[in-house]
């Protein structure tokens, strides 16, 4: 597979995105937007697909930082995006061997997803759905957290 085009595209996109300076202070010199966060997220995926896991992690961390800022301003609009990016961050962290941080990111993602669906699910259905979790306790923390996240997604699909 010829990856020349993809590498050229990645370099061009990276140059544009590197011009954006991120800061978690209230004195932001750049307009923090969904589009910027989405661009970093797509950049992360592109780097991951070509095997550049360190660059994928760097881009994902920037996407998460922007989504944190957006979620702080408008949680109802960006909370799910933050949860999705945290799950991606977990994957990227695990890809470079940072398992404890990967677990923390996946747990934060799970908590946000549980918060999002918390008011719309019947907890008796949640208990039934999590019954098989006992056998998963021996698995790694990251796999267990991802397993729980899968249950959340299944619950979101259930008819009300």
pLDDT in tens, 24-38: 444 444 568 999 999
Hey, what are 137's tokens? Answer: 């306790």
3-state DSSP call for residue 1?
Answer: coil
- Mean pLDDT (whole number) for 49-61: 95
Domain boundaries, the chain: 4-157
pLDDT at 26: 45
Burial class (CB in 10 A: 0-12, 13-18, 19+), 111: middle
Q: 96 by DSSP, 3-state: which?
A: coil
* CATH superfamily label, 4-157: Tetratricopeptide repeat domain (1.25.40.10)
Which pLDDT value is given to residue 22?
A: 46
When the pLDDT of each residue in the chain is averaged and rounded to a whole number, the result is: 74
- Comparing CA positions, the residue from 77, 101, 81 lying closest to residue 91 is 101
pLDDT top residue among 57 and 11: 57
What global pTM score does this model have?
Answer: 0.61
Q: Give burial (CB, 10 Å; 0-12/13-18/19+) of 101.
A: middle
Cα–Cα distance, 31 to 43 (Å, whole number)? 19
pLDDT recorded at residue 8: 54
Q: Which of 91-95, 99-103, 149-153 has the lowest mean pLDDT?
A: 149-153
CA torsion through residues 9, 10, 15, 20, sign: positive
106 close to 149: Cβ distance less than 8 angstroms: yes
* Contact predicate 99/107, CB 8 Å: no
Residue 116's pLDDT is what?
Answer: 86
Task: Round to whole Å and give the CA distance between 12 and 64.
Answer: 21
């Amino acid at each position: 597979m010829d990856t020349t085009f993809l590498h050229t595209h990645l370099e061009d996109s990276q140059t544009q995105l590197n011009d954006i300076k991120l800061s978690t202070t209230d004195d932001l010199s750049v307009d923090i937007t969904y589009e910027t966060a989405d661009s970093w997220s797509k950049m992360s995926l592109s780097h991951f697909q070509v095997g550049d896991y360190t660059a994928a992690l760097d881009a994902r961390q920037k996407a998460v930082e922007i989504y944190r800022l957006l979620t702080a301003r408008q949680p109802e609009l960006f909370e799910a995006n933050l949860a999705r990016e945290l799950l991606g961050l977990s994957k990227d962290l695990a890809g470079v061997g940072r398992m404890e941080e990967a677990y923390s990111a996946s747990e934060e993602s799970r908590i946000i997803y549980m918060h999002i669906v918390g008011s719309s699910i019947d907890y008796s259905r949640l208990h039934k759905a999590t019954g098989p979790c006992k056998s998963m306790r021996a698995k790694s923390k990251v796999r267990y957290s991802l397993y729980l996240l899968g249950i959340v997604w299944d619950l979101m699909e259930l008819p009300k």
